[in-house]
Amino acid sequence: PKVCEQISHLMPRLLESLQDDEILRTKLFGVEFIACKSGTLVTLLYHKKLDSEFEAAMKKLASKLDVMILARSRGQKLLSGELNLVDELNVDGQIYKFSLSENAFIQPNKAVNEKMIAWAKGCVQGGADLLELYCGHGNFTIPLSFKFKNVLATEISKSSIANALKNCELNGAENIKFLRMDADELMGAFAGVREFNRLKDIKLSDFNFSHVLVDPPRAGLSESVINFIRNFKNIIYISCNPETLKENLNELTKSHKVIKFALFDQFANTHHIECGVLLEAKDKF
């Protein structure tokens, strides 16, 4: 679907309400939506100071539309009430619950996201341990964890890691270790070039990684990360940029072969496309 029903039904009502309210429409330059099981969050972006009069109008609108509203301006953030973002994903008949943050990355198209996760799960046939880079709030981590003995997942965003830990509890996933660590730091830890306090309770040598999953930003993988993940027999690569994926695959296919390739259209009628690739090492491990 191009947009979920919650947002589709809300947009014209929100637009009409904003047009009728001078306080709320003045210097408004952007509107963002997050729709989930627990409700809809509307983020309003402004080029002005948000005063008490504005806050009263915002809360009135939130009550009228039955939504959560977050207003942002330079150095300011106002909430209409308690922020509670919890969503559910149905993947092959299994329900997974996710706690979300308004300022953290989430997959934009829920229906397509469910298909992406199902595809990634289908890439695993009897895995040992999983290493995941750029894990976010656990979108792939949680569902895939039930196909592995142990999972080590890393992410640089503090809020995403906090949500990932909550999501483990929500889904009863007990075999995952989350680390707030970027890819370069993780590679340094594997190479033993320095010690990290964040790893004091985790012994990397105890893991038997059969798979690595990467879901990098649009810039793709750096040369050093490519060389690092070559050390793993199976690579699951989720890409939001076909151009950088092509460049990365030119290097990865020197040591690995493509087993599966899938396209996911998260943004209907645009040039954006999400790709999933499963690679397997050419030489035996």
Radius of gyration of the chain (CA): 21
How much is the pLDDT for 285?
62
Are 31 and 133 within one domain?
Answer: no
Q: Per-residue pLDDT tens for 74-126?
A: 999 999 999 999 999 999 999 999 999 888 888 888 999 999 999 999 999 88
Are 138 and 230 within one domain?
Answer: yes
As a 3-state breakdown, the chain gives helix, strand, coil percent values, each rounded to 5, of: 35, 30, 35
How far CA 165 is from CA of 51, 90, 120, 158, 179, in Å, comes to 35, 20, 21, 11, 10
Are 149 and 253 within one domain?
Answer: yes
Cα angle: 261, vertex 150, 85; to 5 degrees? 75
How much is the pLDDT for 87?
95
* Residue 55 domain boundaries: 5-79
Are 245 and 114 within one domain?
Answer: yes
What is the pTM (predicted TM-score) of this model?
A: 0.92
Q: Per-residue pLDDT tens for 217-269?
A: 999 999 999 999 999 999 999 999 999 999 999 999 999 999 999 999 988 88
How much is the pLDDT for 104?
81
Show which residues are catalytic.
Answer: 240, 274
Chosen domain end from 24, 51, 79: 79
Q: What is the mean predicted confidence (pLDDT) over 202-223?
A: 95
Counting the structural domains of the chain, the total is 2
Chosen domain end from 21, 45, 79: 79
Are 72 and 176 within one domain?
Answer: no
- Answer with the residue of higher pLDDT: 233 or 197: 233
Distance, CA of 199 to CA of 147 (rounded, Å): 24
DSSP state of 204: G
CATH of residue 49: 2.40.50.1070
Distance, CA of 181 to CA of 24 (rounded, Å): 40
Spatial CB neighbours of 235, under 8 Å, sequence gap ≥ 6: 211, 212, 213, 214, 229, 252, 256, 277, 278, 279, 280
Chosen domain end from 79, 97, 123: 79
Are 95 and 217 within one domain?
Answer: yes
Are 21 and 106 within one domain?
Answer: no
CATH of residue 167: 3.40.50.150
